[in-house]
Amino acid sequence: MCDGSRSPRTWPPQCLLRQNQRRRQARRFCHTIRQAGAYLNVMSEAFARDFEAQSLRSLYRKMKKTAKARFNCAKRFQRHQAFSLWSVSLFSAGLIGMTLLSALHIQTRLSPPYFDLVQIMLALLVLVLSLLLSANNYSDRAEKLHRCALELNELCHAILPDCGSEEDKPEVYRPTLAKVY
């Protein structure tokens, strides 16, 4: 052990090596931390300059991307609503058809207990799908996303003339950013 209780002659050499190795690692780590801090300061200043220089353009690009993503999401929700409506309609029509088959005593390949089981399963499927669709409100969500994308597009068109110039325009950037967020 290297606790200092023994004389230097009786210390094993491995203990000294480990202590010196730890000291060197600690010095290297501190040096690395100092270099990283200096690098981050330089990077943060450069980033701040670049960000301020291109803030209006970057805001425009971000708003365009967000608007496009929301338009696409609204389309997906509309398609989801349409497909869900069709699936519920088809299952309901199948359930009505099966009820008519049993009411008119038309023979099927299924035995009566299995036929009744399929009817019950279709009825439960229609019920569950209807409840899920009404709870998710895909058409309302699609309409809200579409409206939000239209508002973002309107803001993009409002700041587009100011994006062409090379000068900073905080009087345009800050109010637009406040409207977005």
Give the residue-averaged pLDDT of 37-53: 55
> Is pLDDT above 90 for 28?
no
> Is pLDDT above 70 for 32?
no
Q: How confident is the model at residue 109 (pLDDT cuts 50, 70, 90)?
A: confident
> Is pLDDT above 70 for 122?
yes
Give the residue-averaged pLDDT of 30-41: 58
The C-alpha atoms of residue 180 and residue 61 are separated, in whole angstroms, by: 13
> Is pLDDT above 90 for 161?
no
Locate 165 and state its tokens: 């110039």
Pick from 9-23, 39-53, 100-114, 147-161: least confident:
39-53
3-class SS at 8? coil
Q: What is the pLDDT of residue 61?
A: 86
Positions of E strands within the chain: none
Mean pLDDT of the chain: 78
Report which DSSP code applies to 4.
S
So where are the chain's domains? 1-53, 56-180
pLDDT tens string 132-149: 888 888 889 999 999 999
Say what the pTM is. 0.59
The C-alpha atoms of residue 41 and residue 57 are separated, in whole angstroms, by: 24
For helices 170-180 and 138-163, give the axis angle rounded to 10 degrees. 180
Q: What is the pLDDT of residue 102?
A: 87
Residue 172's CB: how many other CB atoms inside 10 A?
17
Q: How confident is the model at residue 1 (pLDDT cuts 50, 70, 90)?
A: very low
Locate 134 and state its tokens: 């009404």
Give the residue-averaged pLDDT of 164-172: 71
Q: Is 158 within 8 Å of 67 (Cβ atoms)?
A: no
